[in-house]
């Protein structure tokens, strides 16, 4: 159990790092969202494919109809995420993303008729209240287009996670998803071309190969061991981690609102994970 908790915490930190890395790359204005998304997909695909080949499973990378849902939902997430961070701060973007992910995955749990104990529902409600506190009057209002793009990314990631719970071997599945999503990323770049610099390339490669590729492969390994409703609640910690990273690396301010929201989110997650 402790190993599962530690792996989940590591994955949540990787998810939050993606928000900070994306904002760091786009903030100076020298790197565009389409190029960042393309490099992120390509570097993730390259590292994961190398690991799959080294394990003697190269045949799993061949395109199959079964890969299509994962490819499309991963592409929706990556592109929506990258373009949304043109206007959204790191923490606020993560807040919108994983608030939407929670809704998507809870709906998935309801459709799959998973049991939802009262404590889990209560904990999720408390955690979501922490997110709502951050969006209450007086908080910074998100850019409407950024909000819409990040909401689309939330739908993509929520569906991608639900698909991952039923996937087979996590590394080949994730590798194939990244590999066949890369041409779609290239198509987006051709439609909305932009530029990048060395700093943006390095940040995109870290985001693609490490915090995305390896992080998501680990997430696919963890997902089958936990119900989708718990997976949704646990991901609500990501905005808090991302906001903390934004404070350190992007000089986003620490506020009382953030502290209270963090307490609600983390307390709700803890309550949802209790048994009985």
pLDDT of residue 152: 95
For the beta carbon of residue 254, count every other beta carbon within 10 angstroms: 11
Domain residue ranges of the chain, discontinuous segments joined by +: 2-272
- Cβ–Cβ under 8 Å, residues 86 and 33: yes
pLDDT of residue 141: 62
pLDDT of residue 38: 97
pLDDT means per 10 residues in the chain (276 residues)? 78 91 90 96 94 85 83 96 92 80 74 77 80 68 84 90 72 87 97 94 95 84 73 76 87 78 78 66
Distance, CA of 81 to CA of 22 (rounded, Å):
9
- Cβ–Cβ under 8 Å, residues 16 and 182: no
pLDDT of residue 244: 87
pTM: 0.83
pLDDT of residue 155: 92
């Amino acid at each position: 159990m402790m190993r599962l908790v530690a792996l989940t915490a590591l994955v949540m930190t990787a998810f939050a790092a993606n928000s900070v890395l994306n904002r760091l790359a786009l903030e100076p204005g020298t790197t565009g969202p389409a190029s960042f998304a393309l490099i992120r997909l390509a570097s993730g695909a390259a590292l994961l494919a190398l690991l799959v080949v080294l394990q003697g499973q190269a045949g799993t990378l061949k395109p199959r109809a079964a890969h299509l849902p994962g490819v499309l939902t991963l592409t929706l997430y990556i592109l929506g995420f990258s373009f949304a961070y043109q206007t959204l701060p790191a923490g606020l973007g993560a807040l919108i993303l994983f608030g939407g992910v929670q809704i998507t995955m809870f709906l998935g749990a309801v459709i799959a008729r998973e049991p939802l104990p009262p404590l889990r529902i209560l904990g999720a409600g408390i955690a979501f209240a922490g997110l709502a506190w951050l969006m209450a009057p007086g908080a910074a209002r998100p850019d409407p287009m950024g909000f819409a793009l990040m909401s689309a990314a939330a739908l993509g990631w929520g569906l991608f996670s639900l698909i991952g719970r039923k996937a087979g071997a996590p590394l080949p599945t994730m590798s194939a998803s990244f590999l066949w999503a890369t041409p779609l990323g290239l198509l987006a770049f051709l439609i909305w071309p932009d530029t990048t610099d060395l700093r943006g390339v390095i940040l995109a490669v870290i985001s693609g190969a490490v915090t995305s590729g390896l992080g998501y492969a680990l997430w696919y390994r963890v997902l089958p061991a936990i119900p989708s409703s718990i997976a949704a609640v646990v991901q609500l910690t990501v905005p808090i981690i991302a906001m903390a990273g934004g404070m350190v690396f992007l000089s986003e301010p620490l506020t009382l609102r953030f502290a209270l929201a963090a307490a609600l989110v983390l307390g709700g997650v803890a309550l949802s994970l209790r048994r009985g």
